[in-house]
A and B are shown apart, each in its own frame.
Chain A
């Protein structure tokens, strides 16, 4: 294939950071969990009882997949985070392929490449090759690190391969979607939708417990990595299933590419409205239109996740009651609550808070994207003032995060409240969520201030969210010092109901957040707004 190495090197150069970050993050889950196995699962009879409880829990099966052998560090680890890592690898591979194929084509760069001395299929081959190579590298790193963590080599290799091949299937699927759909956005959405749908159906099947239904798990590509049974009597031949599907989809992608013109797609885009709806009349109408999908998506996603995660609470009590070490760990995550259910709920609320703040930052970052694309200038050249343009993105961000956080507080303990027939827990969690609001204001304030004063530094706001995730999810497990864990927007706020209410940090963070918002607004009025 002419030019494959050249195009491959170009794509590697363009997407190396993307893949590097994904690989580093995804490679960490398995070895970290394996190293923590002996802290999580106590030795002897108690541990066995706990694992039996976990293995029988339908919710856990739905989220994580079928458990095969949880009695070893490797088997437990692959069940606990292996399926999740495999799905996330699929996300990496799929997004990576779309951004190197349909997105490049949409922006007109593919035409430049195709006009050079390369074959018709070279760019697609390079994009698929790079994505699949990244999956295999990730699988290799996981296998090596699991061997390093002391788990058996055969299981480590089987697990790494299962994860890698799940990724290559989705890479090939994205390659097909990039041929079928005209916009990168649609190709991405369809790929991720199929991936999510397969994961969901797999969860329903695995949780059903009906032998007749569970057999259908074999038809579920997202189950294949687990069905290869890493650390539980490896069935190597199962790995030929994802390999075969990868090959079929790859062939299909190339076949479809031969049947279409550059820039077109198998399914053309439907025409849209010739005139704008009455609401689309200025900065507010535009911002609402731009954020509509995000508002609905984040709102639904967070709400459903809260209901799902909250349902686990019902089994927490039963499983962990007799496990002092696990209970202690959970209490650390949940800021030291003595009551296990509350500890679990506040720990989940902490995770959700970080995710919600991510939504807020992404909405502010949208305005920066509008600026670098020259579209902010187009709006500012109309009778739209700068404060109005900024507010049209800022207020949806504040509204979304300010509403979702209390909603999460109510939805997380909902099942538990129904079970207990008491509204005490939702009220407590609502209070806990309300006490977290100043942290949200602080994060969005920081993003706004950066946008107003130093737009290139907007990555700092993203980094803050990343750091918060690290301190919330990983540092407590790593026995990091308390001051370091608290060094984040929600670290010094009172964690109700375990902590007593403390107004000082609440007021201080509210003031800082409001101050940062003001700085951002003033800065955005005073600086040059870039055009294209």
Chain B
């Protein structure tokens, strides 16, 4: 599981640009996924995650740049390459008159075959009724149909576009387990998401997309700096906190202090806070919008404005 492996990358995009009318969807995008990676594809809504996946599928043609899927051109050889992958769209639409079981089989067979025993066990694990007509399924159940079909297919790569957006927490649990099994079986997964914690839990590699560009890519360890916690507190001498190892961006306003803390430094910071008799302590895990604002906000001037609430003072779980 290294990015420097000599094997051919499963996904290799370089300099991909795509416009829809006047809208620039992908702007010089590079993305590499090596075999066996569970690769998180993280970005806010509208950043270009789905468009990237569609370029990879060859349903959408890049204006410029090179796209390689298993070393082949996904636009020209889409059908052959698709024998080796399964795709689950973010918004699953199914044939209203077909049952869930029929769609699972149809899509699996259209990919080139599916493992009937795995199919049955997945239907069981995801608690899906395959005899219902698709028109009667909820969003979550439609998603399960697409997931079961993809996971039961004999493929090397799974392209999953926000696969858990309609699943309840119990099913998310199942999904996490299944992805772990897929990883052990040696499959490659590209998992797009706008939820940082989901990517952290499932993936060993992460690429972060913003406004059509990859702004950061690497292993989770390499992206550790994303993992700072926002700490605010009120204490008599706020300056006692500044200068501690592993703290960043201190802001002092009267008796209150706000700063970003690396994971390793949390015990030390909490110790100081305790000694100083701090009041109103909050520690907030970073949310994605804040991360994007603090890390990448200035790098992409063409980017749409970040959601307004990201500029409000931090709030959330009490520490």
User: What residues make up the interface of A, taking CB atoms closer than 8 Å to B?
Assistant: 106, 182-183, 185, 269, 271-277, 280-283, 285-286, 289-290, 373-375, 377-386, 388, 526, 528-529, 531-532
Residues A273 and B109 in contact in the complex (CB < 8 Å), given A528-B61, A529-B60: no
* A-contact bits for B188-218, CB 8 A (1 contact / 0 none): 0000000000000000000000000000000
* A-contact bits for B79-111, CB 8 A (1 contact / 0 none): 110110111010111111111011111110111
* A-contact bits for B121-155, CB 8 A (1 contact / 0 none): 00000000111110110000000001000000000
In angstroms, Cα B131 to Cα A272, docked, is 5
Q: Are B111 and A383 in contact (CB under 8 A)?
A: yes
Kindly list chain B residues whose C-beta atoms are within 8 Å of the C-beta of A290.
95
B21 to chain A, nearest CB (A): 12
Residue in B91, B102, B106 whose Cβ sees the most chain A Cβ within 10 Å: B106
In angstroms, Cα B139 to Cα A56, docked, is 60
In angstroms, Cα B99 to Cα A272, docked, is 6
B157 to chain A, nearest CB (A): 11
Kindly list chain B residues whose C-beta atoms are within 8 Å of the C-beta of A280.
98, 102, 105-106, 109
Residues A374 and B91 in contact in the complex (CB < 8 Å), given A276-B101, A385-B79: yes
In angstroms, Cα B98 to Cα A379, docked, is 14
Residues A276 and B82 in contact in the complex (CB < 8 Å), given A374-B89, A383-B110, A532-B91: no
B136: contacting residue among A269, A383, A385, CB under 8 A? A269
Kindly list chain B residues whose C-beta atoms are within 8 Å of the C-beta of A373.
93
Q: Are B106 and A276 in contact (CB under 8 A)?
A: yes
The 10 A-B residue pairs with the shortest CB-CB distance in the complex, in nearest-first order: A276-B105, A271-B131, A382-B110, A385-B79, A272-B99, A381-B87, A281-B109, A274-B101, A374-B93, A276-B102
Q: Are B133 and A528 in contact (CB under 8 A)?
A: no
Kindly list chain B residues whose C-beta atoms are within 8 Å of the C-beta of A529.
59-60
Kindly list chain B residues whose C-beta atoms are within 8 Å of the C-beta of A286.
95, 106, 110
B110: contacting residue among A183, A269, A283, A532, CB under 8 A? A283
Instruction: Name B56's closest neighbour in chain A (CB-CB).
Output: A381
A380: contacting residue among B50, B59, B106, CB under 8 A? B59
Q: Are B89 and A378 in contact (CB under 8 A)?
A: yes
Q: Does B248 contact A (CB under 8 A)?
A: no
Kindly list chain B residues whose C-beta atoms are within 8 Å of the C-beta of A283.
110
B81 to chain A, nearest CB (A): 8
A375: contacting residue among B93, B112, B159, CB under 8 A? B93
Q: Does B54 contact A (CB under 8 A)?
A: yes
**A272-B133, A283-B110, A380-B57 are known contacts; what are 17 more A-B pairs with Cβ within 8 Å?**
A182-B136, A185-B96, A273-B102, A275-B130, A276-B106, A280-B106, A280-B109, A282-B106, A286-B95, A374-B92, A377-B59, A378-B92, A381-B87, A383-B83, A384-B82, A385-B79, A528-B61
Kindly list chain A residues whose C-beta atoms are within 8 Å of the C-beta of B179.
none
In angstroms, Cα B103 to Cα A277, docked, is 11
Instruction: Name A375's closest neighbour in chain B (CB-CB).
Output: B93
* Contacts A/B (CB < 8 Å), 16 sampled: A183-B135, A185-B96, A271-B132, A272-B101, A272-B102, A274-B131, A275-B105, A276-B106, A282-B109, A378-B94, A380-B57, A380-B78, A381-B82, A382-B107, A526-B61, A531-B50
Kindly list chain A residues whose C-beta atoms are within 8 Å of the C-beta of B131.
271-274
A263 to chain B, nearest CB (A): 9
Q: Are A532 and B93 in contact (CB under 8 A)?
A: yes
* A-contact bits for B37-63, CB 8 A (1 contact / 0 none): 000000000000010001001111100
A383: contacting residue among B59, B82, B133, CB under 8 A? B82
Kindly list chain B residues whose C-beta atoms are within 8 Å of the C-beta of A182.
136
In angstroms, Cα B78 to Cα A402, docked, is 32
Q: Are B59 and A276 in contact (CB under 8 A)?
A: no
In angstroms, Cα B129 to Cα A377, docked, is 24
